[in-house]
A and B are shown apart, each in its own frame.
Chain A
Amino acid sequence: MLDAFLSAGGLVFQPAVLLAMALALPIGIVVGLLPGLSGITALAFLIPFTFGMDPLVGLAFLLASYAAVSQGGSITAIVLGVPGEVPNAATVIDGYPLAKQGRAGYAIGGALMASALGGLFGCVVLAVLLPVMQPVILSFASPENFFLSLAGVAFIAVLSASAPVRGLIAGALGIFLSLFGYDPVDGVPRFWMGSDYMLDGFRLVPLAMGLFAIPEILALMSSGKSIAQPGRLEPISFGQVVEGGLAVFKHLGIFFRSSAIGTVIGIMPGVGGATAPFVAYAAARQTAKNPETFGQGRIEGVIAPEASSNAKEGGALVPTLALGIPGSSSMAMLLGAFLILGLQPGPEFLKKHMDIAIALAWICALANVASSALMFLLSKALIYITRVPGHVLAPILLALVVIGTYSADNNVNDVWFIFIFGALGVAMERLNYNRPALLLGFVLGETIERNFQISMKAYGPAFVLRPISIAIIVLALAFLLWPNRRRLTLLWRRA
């Protein structure tokens, strides 16, 4: 085991590999900073460049760019209120208010440190568990995925604890929107209205962009002011960023819990990775003092989703490498890259190439840390964005959002839907309906339906009695009821 570790280290610290990473990081950061462009787009763009590369070099290139993209996505979530990718939508909740208060640097520092360490956590867990992961992965089947997704929906209620009924309505609307298009089980298209585009229903990227970017762009255009409200401006310095970074160490409990949540959710293929940051956020809120101040600029609300979403990617590598089953949609693409480079992940791969597998864990860890460091250096420039006047920033942002969304599927209809959902986003913002809740419902709706139907068909109603499923239900209930534990214990004692 130790020699695998050491030989993996030897593989990683070669000039070609390090050079590939050094090239990939800036590309990844740029892609991450552009709203609408996600990790998957970056991978799709870069995979053709790796044809003919030595496998480890090619994979280092791809993994490093992928790690950097999620860093970039966190930054736009904080600085612009626009999630770079769907998992970053949870970061918007507390990150953007911090930017509006003129404390973007503080939020960025917290996000970068949480991402770096969270990613490190996920990769370390990856390296340690890889040899023994197989039986664990195989014990999670459709019933477990169903209950995890259901728990995710329950967390919608937590996300919107300040206006619970509206939050649940938003979540329900999200689930309703997810019903359009092919029924996941029977393949019959629902509400497709004879349009080819609607066969696959509404698309996630236009929805996320429309919900979050359009209202912000409109606000910038109409007020003309910069994102950071004037009158509350601190001088831009690294001091804020460093302070944010150190905040992670003041909230180590939240950090570790969030990273663990992210890693576990990443390890399980079948549960959407997008849920990890929301679950981590909700868990942080549930266990913090003064939970009602979440949503107005609590640094824990930035640390939790950031740590978990980076840890999740390390976790997602586990089933990808151990079984050849991708742990997330970006891993599916990475798997394609493996094959192109001549490697075949799976049990045989682990037996013959454990050192390469661990080398990938190394690269994953290094890439996380290096991209955070790179972003740290760029943070001053990025904070400036929050000081740019609105009437200058808005058109640039709009152009970037449109291009980024179009590039996802080369489909013009996606662009129209940015604006349709933008209208929805504006309405929800005005009427105080929770937008992340809608997004979460949308992402989970399909997973819940799919896994429920499969579980019923494969096991019958007894699927609820599986041990791991019961454990998930118990844990989810515990999380939901935790803030009210005193009241409940009193009730229990009286009964």
Chain B
Amino acid sequence: MRHHRHNQSCRRAFLALIFAAGFAASAQLTAANAQDAGAFLKGQTVRIYVGFSPGGGYDAYARMLAPHFEKKTGATVVVENRPGGGGLTALNQLVREKPDGLAMMMLNGESAILGQITKQPGVAFDMTKVSNLARVAHEQHFLLVNPNMPNSLKEIIASGKTVKFSATGRVDNLGDYAAVLCEALKMNCQIITGYKGSKEAGLAVMNGEVDALAISDGSGNDYAQGGQTKVIATIGNARSEFKPDVTTLNEQFQLPPDRKWLLDFRLAIKDYGRVMVAPPDMPADKLKYLQQVWREILTDPAVMEEAAKSKRPLKYEAPAKLDQYIRDLLQSLPPEKVDQVNEVILKKFS
């Protein structure tokens, strides 16, 4: 009897020992796996594509963030400028890359979404499949007008005159904002496309060739220097740090639901903003690691301060939220809304 009990307790002790050993071993393995999560990057060369020539905003963000990524992961980062197709040819190329975590892109998310919705020629990507890593920044927009124009939108609309906007194209983040603004406020507008760049579009407002321009707040603030142009509204869901006294459209107007919808739609695209993305079908572990690295970099107070100092502030948003934006903007839109968006952005106010 005693012998049997002794065997039982021995067996239990033995089993307990095995469990403990197994537990410890698996804990050790898990810890090792966590440490190895970033192993695929150490010593490798990572490329960040930028769809524009050196010197522009996206290039500046990429080059500012590259050293921080290098420090965190031990990889070497090369910022590769691949201009073309309005910044979207590089995205066409990115989505064809292997999802090995070695290629990313500092993307103009607004252009990409707009390009897909309006079915621009040359769009060979699907934003619903692209892997979102993080949002780097997004900007409110300003409505800039020539100094000779009335000081408020209400006066401009009341006068019934046709307001001329400058833009480089219809889906260039200048023309589409103008179109949405004009439709939402039922303003008489003419959108003149063809300016070489946003600076030339700004100059056209300064010299009176056109009356107005809808542009990002940073650039708009620059052009409003010295009274060359004046900012009369903020096109955004909140006021801009650049000019906190300028009211938003929602503060100035009470829009009926069908028109407010269009404005909110465009602002939701804006919230997607400037994003860091990777090719589709990334393996879950690599995706998770990259998302974590970018979260750490973009929410690091020291990095944020450095960015703010060079006038390129960071506004991080998590990838889960970005995936939600994409679903709302691209997948759950009823066809008549898609048609309405296309009609306003592409055809109206020509």
Q: Which residues of A contact B (CB under 8 A)?
A: 40, 43-44, 47-48, 138-142, 182, 184-189, 192, 196-197, 199-200, 269-270, 323-326, 332-337, 339-340, 342, 344, 346-349, 351, 409-411, 450, 453-454, 457-459
Instruction: Bits for B167-200, please: 1 = Cβ < 8 Å to A, else 0.
Output: 0011110000000000000000010111111011
Residue of B whose beta carbon sits closest to that of A347 = B226
- For B92, list chain A residues within 8 Å (CB): 196
B6 located at the interface, meaning its Cβ lies under 8 Å from any Cβ of chain A in the complex: no
Given contacts A323-B228, A335-B55, contact A48 B63 (CB under 8 A): yes
Residue of A whose beta carbon sits closest to that of B223 = A324
Assembly CA distance A410 to B227 (angstroms): 41
Contact sample, A vs B, 23 pairs, CB 8 Å cutoff? A40-B53, A43-B54, A44-B54, A44-B55, A47-B54, A138-B206, A142-B209, A184-B194, A196-B85, A269-B200, A270-B200, A323-B203, A323-B228, A324-B225, A325-B203, A332-B55, A336-B55, A339-B310, A342-B310, A348-B226, A409-B82, A409-B84, A458-B192
Partner of A333, one of B54, B84, B207, B225: B54
- Taking a contact as CB atoms under 8 Å apart, the answer to whether A410 and B203 are in contact is no
- For B195, list chain A residues within 8 Å (CB): 450, 454
Instruction: Bits for B241-256, please: 1 = Cβ < 8 Å to A, else 0.
Output: 0000000000000000
- For A196, list chain B residues within 8 Å (CB): 84-85, 89, 92-93, 122, 124
Assembly CA distance A47 to B207 (angstroms): 31
Given contacts A189-B122, A323-B203, A458-B210, contact A199 B84 (CB under 8 A): yes
B81 located at the interface, meaning its Cβ lies under 8 Å from any Cβ of chain A in the complex: yes
Instruction: Bits for B74-86, please: 1 = Cβ < 8 Å to A, else 0.
Output: 0000001111111
Assembly CA distance A197 to B56 (angstroms): 21
Assembly CA distance A210 to B171 (angstroms): 34
- Taking a contact as CB atoms under 8 Å apart, the answer to whether A351 and B226 are in contact is yes
Partner of B85, one of A44, A199, A453: A199
Assembly CA distance A359 to B268 (angstroms): 45
Residue of B whose beta carbon sits closest to that of A197 = B84
Residue of A whose beta carbon sits closest to that of B311 = A339
Residue of B whose beta carbon sits closest to that of A345 = B222
- For B53, list chain A residues within 8 Å (CB): 40, 44, 333, 409
Known: A409-B53, A411-B82, A459-B209. 12 other contacts (CB 8 A): A47-B54, A141-B207, A187-B171, A196-B122, A197-B84, A200-B85, A323-B203, A325-B200, A333-B53, A346-B225, A349-B225, A454-B194
**Interchain nearest-CB distance for A85 vs B (Å):** 15
- Taking a contact as CB atoms under 8 Å apart, the answer to whether A454 and B55 are in contact is no
- For A184, list chain B residues within 8 Å (CB): 194, 196
Assembly CA distance A269 to B226 (angstroms): 19
- For A453, list chain B residues within 8 Å (CB): 194
- Taking a contact as CB atoms under 8 Å apart, the answer to whether B121 and A189 are in contact is yes
Assembly CA distance A426 to B332 (angstroms): 56
- Taking a contact as CB atoms under 8 Å apart, the answer to whether A450 and B196 are in contact is yes
B319 located at the interface, meaning its Cβ lies under 8 Å from any Cβ of chain A in the complex: no
Given contacts A410-B81, A457-B190, contact A344 B222 (CB under 8 A): yes
Assembly CA distance A324 to B311 (angstroms): 15
Assembly CA distance A325 to B89 (angstroms): 27
**Interchain nearest-CB distance for B211 vs A (Å):** 10
Residue of B whose beta carbon sits closest to that of A195 = B122
Assembly CA distance A188 to B118 (angstroms): 12
Instruction: Bits for B36-57, please: 1 = Cβ < 8 Å to A, else 0.
Output: 0000000000000000011110
Partner of A141, one of B84, B193, B209, B310: B209
Residue of B whose beta carbon sits closest to that of A447 = B196
- For B222, list chain A residues within 8 Å (CB): 324, 344, 346
Given contacts A184-B194, A188-B121, A348-B226, contact A43 B55 (CB under 8 A): yes
B239 located at the interface, meaning its Cβ lies under 8 Å from any Cβ of chain A in the complex: no
**Interchain nearest-CB distance for B167 vs A (Å):** 10
- Taking a contact as CB atoms under 8 Å apart, the answer to whether A138 and B207 are in contact is yes
Q: Which of B60, B83, B202, B209 has the most chain A CB atoms inside 10 A of its CB?
A: B209
- For B202, list chain A residues within 8 Å (CB): 325
- Taking a contact as CB atoms under 8 Å apart, the answer to whether B225 and A142 are in contact is no
Assembly CA distance A40 to B59 (angstroms): 15
- For B124, list chain A residues within 8 Å (CB): 196
- For B194, list chain A residues within 8 Å (CB): 184-186, 450, 453-454, 457
B297 located at the interface, meaning its Cβ lies under 8 Å from any Cβ of chain A in the complex: no
- For A326, list chain B residues within 8 Å (CB): 199
- For A332, list chain B residues within 8 Å (CB): 55, 197, 199
B267 located at the interface, meaning its Cβ lies under 8 Å from any Cβ of chain A in the complex: no
Q: Which of B55, B193, B204 has the most chain A CB atoms inside 10 A of its CB?
A: B55
- Taking a contact as CB atoms under 8 Å apart, the answer to whether B81 and A44 are in contact is yes
- For A269, list chain B residues within 8 Å (CB): 199-200, 203
Assembly CA distance A141 to B200 (angstroms): 10
Assembly CA distance A453 to B55 (angstroms): 29
**Interchain nearest-CB distance for B104 vs A (Å):** 16
Assembly CA distance A199 to B309 (angstroms): 37
- Taking a contact as CB atoms under 8 Å apart, the answer to whether B60 and A340 are in contact is yes
Assembly CA distance A409 to B121 (angstroms): 21
**Interchain nearest-CB distance for B218 vs A (Å):** 9
The 8 A-B pairs of least Cβ separation, nearest first, read: A347-B226, A336-B55, A185-B194, A44-B54, A187-B169, A333-B55, A138-B207, A346-B225
Assembly CA distance A269 to B196 (angstroms): 11
- For A342, list chain B residues within 8 Å (CB): 309-310
**Interchain nearest-CB distance for B118 vs A (Å):** 10
B164 located at the interface, meaning its Cβ lies under 8 Å from any Cβ of chain A in the complex: yes
Given contacts A139-B207, A196-B85, A332-B55, contact A187 B193 (CB under 8 A): yes
Assembly CA distance A185 to B84 (angstroms): 16
Assembly CA distance A196 to B51 (angstroms): 13
**Interchain nearest-CB distance for B168 vs A (Å):** 8
- Taking a contact as CB atoms under 8 Å apart, the answer to whether B209 and A347 are in contact is no
- Taking a contact as CB atoms under 8 Å apart, the answer to whether A270 and B89 are in contact is no
Given contacts A141-B204, A324-B199, A348-B226, contact A336 B54 (CB under 8 A): yes
Given contacts A335-B55, A336-B56, contact A192 B225 (CB under 8 A): no
Assembly CA distance A141 to B192 (angstroms): 14
Residue of A whose beta carbon sits closest to that of B59 = A336
Q: Which of A182, A199, A269 has the most chain B CB atoms inside 10 A of its CB?
A: A199
- For A333, list chain B residues within 8 Å (CB): 53-55
Assembly CA distance A242 to B171 (angstroms): 56
**Interchain nearest-CB distance for A41 vs B (Å):** 9
Q: Which of B81, B122, B164, B206 has the most chain A CB atoms inside 10 A of its CB?
A: B122
Assembly CA distance A157 to B50 (angstroms): 41
- For A458, list chain B residues within 8 Å (CB): 164, 192, 204, 209-210
